[in-house]
């Protein structure tokens, strides 16, 4: 039977020793190397060409997402399994997009690490039930925000849409007030109202929404006052 060769990358020696103990105890498996930072992980993956690289997210020099990306590019036959404490749906999606085949929380290390390594070594995806729940919740939250923004846009007034477009063009409240012939306080009120309708919580969110919807490219007759 072919030996399953594994690389472990984590900046905490205790975690590396724990993972190594678990994996080396599996019949036919062998940990062939360890790395204490992201750059070393990539270098050892290129040198040793392991079947599976178990990598942490929060490592010095290169984070785990970038490590996954570089290992998959340089050693495409090596499968990457992320082992981390980060419970973020965004982090999971970034890791998978970078080429990781699995995502395991360190809190589940003892129970699921062998199953996860076996799965990814066979080319399968592996997410623990908890990680899957995190991803689903993140998806539903994002979809809910998009739906709220879509509904809010239907009720935005023409003046509010004008202000969104000008914000997307990089205009300040004072500049918008001068362009539209209204008071700065009126601009601020319109901005607050449209943010409430769209379910947005900051100016950055509002500008991001406007850019995503292509509102910054819309032509407005700047300098021409319009009715309130």
Closest CA to 165 of 213, 223, 228, 225: 213
Domains of the chain: 4-128 (3.40.50.2300), 156-217 (1.10.10.10)
Rounded Cα distance, 191 and 60, in Å: 41
Structure tokens that stand for 178 in this block: 């001068």
Q: What's the pLDDT score for residue 149? A: 45
Of 208 and 72, which is predicted with more confidence?
72
- Residues 105-148 pLDDT 10s: 888 888 889 999 999 999 888 887 666 665 555 444 544 444 44
Rounded Cα distance, 190 and 162, in Å: 10
Rounded Cα distance, 167 and 7, in Å: 49
**Over the chain, what is the mean pLDDT?**
79
Degrees, nearest 5: CA angle 190-194-200: 130
Rounded Cα distance, 146 and 133, in Å: 20
Q: 101: how many CB neighbours lie within 10 A of its CB?
A: 25
Q: Quick one: what percent of the chain has pLDDT higher than 70?
A: 75
Helix (H, G, I), strand (E, B) or coil at 108: helix
Q: What's the pLDDT score for residue 215? A: 58
Q: Which of 7-16, 147-156, 194-203 has the least mean pLDDT?
A: 147-156
- Residues 19-78 pLDDT 10s: 999 999 999 999 999 999 999 999 999 999 999 999 998 888 888 889 999 999 999 999
Contact by Cβ (8 Å): 98, 69 = yes
Alpha helices of the chain — where are they, by DSSP H? 13-24, 38-48, 64-74, 89-97, 109-121, 129-155, 158-168, 173-180, 184-198, 203-212
């Amino acid at each position: 039977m072919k030996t399953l060769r594994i690389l472990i990358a984590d900046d905490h020696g205790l975690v590396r020793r724990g993972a190594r103990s678990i994996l080396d105890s599996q019949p036919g498996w062998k940990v062939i190397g360890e790395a204490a930072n992201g750059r070393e992980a990539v270098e050892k993956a290129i040198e040793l060409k392991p079947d599976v690289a178990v990598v942490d997210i929060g490592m010095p020099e290169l984070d785990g997402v970038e490590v996954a990306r570089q290992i998959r590019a340089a050693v495409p036959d090596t499968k990457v399994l992320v082992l981390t404490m980060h419970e973020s749906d965004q982090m999971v999606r970034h890791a998978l997009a970078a080429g990781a085949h699995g995502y395991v929380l360190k809190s589940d290390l003892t129970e699921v690490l062998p199953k996860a390594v076996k799965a990814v070594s066979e080319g399968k995806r592996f997410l623990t039930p908890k990680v899957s729940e995190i991803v689903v919740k993140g998806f539903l939250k994002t979809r809910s925000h998009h739906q709220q923004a879509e509904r809010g846009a239907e009720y935005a007034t023409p003046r509010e849409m004008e202000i969104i477009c000008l914000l997307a063009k990089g205009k300040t409240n004072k500049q918008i007030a001068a362009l539209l012939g209204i008071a700065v306080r009126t601009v601020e009120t319109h901005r607050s109202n449209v943010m409430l309708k769209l379910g947005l919580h900051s100016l950055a969110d509002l500008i991001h929404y406007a850019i995503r919807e292509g509102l910054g490219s819309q032509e407005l007759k700047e300098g021409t006052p319009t009715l309130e």
